[in-house]
Amino acid sequence: MLKKSVYLCLAFSLPAFADDNTAQRLWQSTRQAVENQDRKALKEETFFQTGMEADTPDQEHTQQDKGEALFSAIGRNDWHTVRSLLDEYRRQPQRDPDIALFAEAALARSDGKLNEARKHYELLLQRQPDFIRGRLDLARLLFEDQLNKESAEEFAKIPADQVPEAVNDNIRLFQSALENRQKWQGSVSTGLIWSSNINEGSDGSECLHIEELGDIWEHCQNGESSEEAFGINYETAASRRFQINGHHGLNTRILAYGKTYRNHQKYNEHTLNLSAGYQFANAKRTVTLAPLWEWGSSGQHAQHRAYGARTEWNETRSRWSWNTEAEWKKQIYFNNDMKHNNHRLFSVFNTLSYGLRDDVVIFGGLDWQQRFSEEPTESYRQPAIRLGAAKQFAGGFDASFYTLLRHRSYKQENEFLGKRRRDNEQIHTLSLGADRWKMAGIKPVLTLKHRRVNSNIKWLNSFKQNEIGISLMKHF
């Protein structure tokens, strides 16, 4: 019996499955940072004091005392007392309807009924245009409700010489936040990175013994060997909203990220993602619908372009927020040898965030992606789950941990490999930041990342990858 050995090292390589959660992760972290800036403006606000407040009354207080007590309770955000005093005040025969209307507006705002509160404040100011406290509260309400132009106009009407300096400081805080809303907001980071496996090599092999016409052939297949390298990593995300009319506006978004490796240029990668379209925004909800365009390069050559559309729904409450982002895009490769990988990709990302405390946030998400490729063996569906937490420490440090688990199931068996590919992937990321070492708004960040793919075609598609990055980050 003749025995022959044939060793086949694949001359071609299937395109590696890129760590394509970068865009979604980058956008989610940037969006949350922008929301935190708005919350910071509201959190740092001190109560508007105008000299009209009084101590909480006892049972002997007169009608005038009850009116003053209403102002005092509103200034303390003591809504239980406001409700009880307002009921008593309404029963007074000589009550002032404007004081009652002011209390009703404040209660509606505290209950989240911003449209109702706005109507009360505007009616009150029609009757009492010089009522400074009412105008302050209306301006703040408009700020919360994302009505930036209207809020700026109300703050501008308040005479600086008629309010205490503490109130003027508060007004300047809001005006600064309004100016920031009109600018580009986002983050930029760049730094050094080390990767243990830039080519996603499996370091594996597989040998099969095939009997044919009385002969036994040994068929060996070898995957790529892993390569480690140092490089430079960068990530940028920026968005800007242009208010057109009321809650309606135009939102633009830019994402740019990539890696370059020294002496391993063929593994360099760069991605630019642009989006601009309609956005509705108020205090609780943001809805975006926009076309998108993407360009990517691999090595030293342009690799692909893509176009499509995205929609985003964001619900925000005091402690939690829910975000759903859906995206469809068609990706086209420039290289004729890669044309068979042209595909349409549909993605849905769902994220729930909850603030356990002011310094601790937990979050999780359920995702779905489905790719429809011109080559059926490259089409797949991919469910995923994300879990994470972030902590701000009193010493000026912060930490976040992020885990992503996903399963890819390909549509059709690869005839050459004799299997239908299935992958289980996990990504774990730990980031440590140092605000106490921040200079010019730039802080150092240490990132540790472990990625692992377990595939049923182990010799070709299974791999492990570790990354260590030290970068400088700035939010703007």
Q: Which of 201, 266, 272, 202 is nearest to 231 (CA)?
A: 266
Specify the CATH number for the domain of residue 129.
Answer: 1.25.40.10
Q: What is the pLDDT, as a whole number, of residue 36? A: 80
Q: Is residue 61 part of a domain?
A: no
Q: Is residue 31 part of a domain?
A: no
Query: For residue 62, what pLDDT band results from cuts at 50, 70 and 90?
Result: low
Looking at the predicted structure, is the pLDDT value of residue 208 above 80? no
What is the tens place of the pLDDT at every residue in 343-391?
A: 999 999 999 999 999 899 999 999 999 999 999 999 999 999 999 999 9
Q: Is residue 52 part of a domain?
A: no
Q: Are residues 146 and 246 in the same domain?
A: no
Looking at the predicted structure, is the pLDDT value of residue 43 above 70? no
Residue 121 belongs to domain spanning:
40-47+68-181
* 76 C-beta neighbours (distance < 10 Å), count: 13
Q: What is the pLDDT, as a whole number, of residue 418? A: 78
Specify the CATH number for the domain of residue 323.
Answer: 2.40.160.40
Query: For residue 44, what pLDDT band results from cuts at 50, 70 and 90?
Result: low
Structural contact between residues 257 and 236, judged by C-beta atoms closer than 8 angstroms = yes
Query: For residue 19, what pLDDT band results from cuts at 50, 70 and 90?
Result: low
- Determine the residue type at 455: S
Structural contact between residues 191 and 470, judged by C-beta atoms closer than 8 angstroms = yes
* Distances 260 to 192, 263, 299 between C-alpha atoms, Å: 10, 9, 9
What DSSP letter does each residue of 434-461 carry, written as one string? EGGG-BTTEEEEEEEEEEEEEESSHHHH
Q: Is residue 424 part of a domain?
A: yes
Structural contact between residues 121 and 129, judged by C-beta atoms closer than 8 angstroms = no
Q: Are residues 120 and 95 in the same domain?
A: yes
Q: Are residues 259 and 297 in the same domain?
A: yes
Q: Of the residues 163, 181, 199, which one is the last residue of a structural domain?
A: 181
Q: Are residues 278 and 341 in the same domain?
A: yes
What is the tens place of the pLDDT at every residue in 214-273?
A: 677 777 777 889 999 999 999 999 999 999 999 999 999 999 999 999 899 999 999 999
Query: For residue 1, what pLDDT band results from cuts at 50, 70 and 90?
Result: very low
Q: Is residue 386 part of a domain?
A: yes
Q: Of the residues 152, 181, 210, which one is the last residue of a structural domain?
A: 181
What is the tens place of the pLDDT at every residue in 420-442?
A: 999 999 999 999 999 999 999 99
Q: Are residues 176 and 291 in the same domain?
A: no
Residue with tokens 């020294």: 262
Q: Are residues 349 and 418 in the same domain?
A: yes
Q: Which of 38-47, 174-183, 217-226 tops mean pLDDT?
A: 174-183
Q: Are residues 171 and 223 in the same domain?
A: no
Query: For residue 51, what pLDDT band results from cuts at 50, 70 and 90?
Result: very low
**C-alpha atoms less than 13 angstroms from C-alpha of 211 in its C-beta half-sphere:** 2
Q: Is residue 24 part of a domain?
A: no
Q: Is residue 250 part of a domain?
A: yes
Q: What is the pLDDT, as a whole number, of residue 48? A: 54
Looking at the predicted structure, is the pLDDT value of residue 50 above 80? no
Q: Of the residues 181, 212, 233, which one is the last residue of a structural domain?
A: 181
**Average pLDDT of the residues in 456-473:** 95
Q: Are residues 176 and 225 in the same domain?
A: no
Q: Are residues 167 and 209 in the same domain?
A: no
pLDDT above 70 covers what percent of the chain? 89
Average pLDDT, the chain: 88
Looking at the predicted structure, is the pLDDT value of residue 412 above 70? yes
Under DSSP, the state recorded for 158 is S
Looking at the predicted structure, is the pLDDT value of residue 153 above 70? yes
Q: Which of 28, 17, 29 is nearest to 369 (CA)?
A: 17
What is the tens place of the pLDDT at every residue in 290-322?
A: 999 999 999 989 999 999 999 999 999 888 999
User: What distance in Å separates the CA atoms of residue 113 and residue 3, rounded to the nearest whole number?
Assistant: 83
Q: Is residue 10 part of a domain?
A: no
Query: For residue 137, what pLDDT band results from cuts at 50, 70 and 90?
Result: very high
Looking at the predicted structure, is the pLDDT value of residue 16 above 60? no
- Give me the phi and psi of 244, to 5 degrees please: -100, -55
Q: Are residues 133 and 272 in the same domain?
A: no
What are the helix (H) ranges across 91-217?
A: 97-110, 114-127, 132-144, 148-156, 165-181
Q: What is the pLDDT, as a whole number, of residue 215? A: 73
User: What distance in Å separates the CA atoms of residue 158 and residue 216, rounded to the nearest whole number?
Assistant: 92
Q: What is the pLDDT, as a whole number, of residue 385? A: 98
Q: Are residues 175 and 195 in the same domain?
A: no
Looking at the predicted structure, is the pLDDT value of residue 37 above 50? yes
Q: Are residues 284 and 367 in the same domain?
A: yes
| Of residues 15 and 67, more confidently modeled | 67
Q: What is the pLDDT, as a whole number, of residue 13? A: 34
Assigned token pair, 3:
């025995």
pTM of the model: 0.87
Looking at the predicted structure, is the pLDDT value of residue 20 above 80? no
Q: How many domains does the chain have?
A: 2
Q: What is the pLDDT, as a whole number, of residue 15? A: 39
